[in-house]
Amino acid sequence: MKLVVACICVLLLCPSLYAADLSQKTEKGIFSLEMTLGGNSLKIGANTADIVVRDKSGKGVEGAELTVTPWLPAMGQGVWEKPVVTVKGGGKYHVQNIVTKMTGRWELKIDVKKGTFKDRAIFAFDVSGREPASSKDTGQPKGKYLRSVKYYTIPNVTLLNQDGKRVNLKEMVDSGKPVIFDFIYTTCTTICPVLSATFTSLRKDLGADADKVQLISISIDPENDRPEKMKKYLSRFKAGKGWDFLTGSREDINRVLVSLDATLVDKMAHEPLYIMRAPHSDDWVRIKGLLSKGDLMSELKKMEHK
């Protein structure tokens, strides 16, 4: 009796243990799947899972091709990062890099192919919580924004600026100037103009020293943001030397976003984010939220005089 009561208490206190059906047949009934999530639930960030694939007789299916797709139904799309599947033998498969980017109802679409047989199962999960921050501080709120110090490695990619010029991002970042990133797109009508206006105000306050700070706006809509559109966008904000708007292939832009922990599910739902670094420093200051020009200038000076 005590054991039964204890089990009921565990279920009441830990609903994630029974919130999702982790064993089900595929849609056509060709296979059955058993899934075990690392940590017993999906959380914001990278997740892992172990999956067992069985045939109708219950025997483990060896050498199947598994494709795992994290999907956010409310947005009608998934994420750019692709999960990595490793065959373990005996019908067992280990999946790494199952990335979710926000709270809400997510689906894991699992496609299984073995020879001429193909089928799919969909597991649904409620995602909540965040990964522990890999930073010097926990990002405690400062005013209306969240500030933390991170360590990033910029990829060696070549992008296009608003003039159609090919730019090596790593070389630009290592040019000896303070660097400030933001993440925008040309057709945005919400937070992007606010971020850009803050850059304009900062440059105005810097005056003759405006080009001594390298501002880098990374397109989060590279398929549509081409140099001519980006140049027109920057002209609205009186941009000049020292402010570059960069685009490129989806693959290269994704590498940049991943390296700066700035990936997103949907450009329409992106959040205001600045990432900045003093010359020759290993520390990157990450600021999430909208800043006034005074706040941004203060952060710049603090970073430079550290």
Domains along the sequence of the chain with CATH: 19-127 (2.60.40.1930), 141-304 (3.40.30.10)
pLDDT band at 138 (very low <50, low <70, confident <90, very high): very low
Q: Pairing between strand 214-219 and 179-184?
A: parallel
Interhelix angle 293-304/191-206, nearest 10 degrees: 60
What is the C-alpha separation between 131 and 133, in angstroms, rounded? 6
Q: Is the whole-model pTM more than 0.75?
A: no
Using only the alpha carbons of the chain, give its radius of gyration: 23
Write the DSSP symbol of residue 135: S
User: For residues 158 and 144, which has the higher predicted lDDT (pLDDT)?
Assistant: 158
Write the DSSP symbol of residue 55: -
Burial class (CB in 10 A: 0-12, 13-18, 19+), 205: middle
204, 271, 290: which is closest to 242 by C-alpha? 204
pLDDT digits (tens, 9 = 90+) for 288-305: 988 888 899 999 998 877
pLDDT for 244 equals: 98
24, 117, 23, 25: which is closest to 64 by C-alpha? 117
pLDDT digits (tens, 9 = 90+) for 222-280: 999 999 999 999 999 999 999 999 999 999 998 999 899 888 767 877 789 999 999 98
pLDDT digits (tens, 9 = 90+) for 74-106: 666 666 667 889 999 999 999 998 888 777 788
In the structure encoding, which two tokens stand for residue 143, read together?
Answer: 């005013």
CA distances from 71 to 74, 265, 273 (A): 9, 9, 24
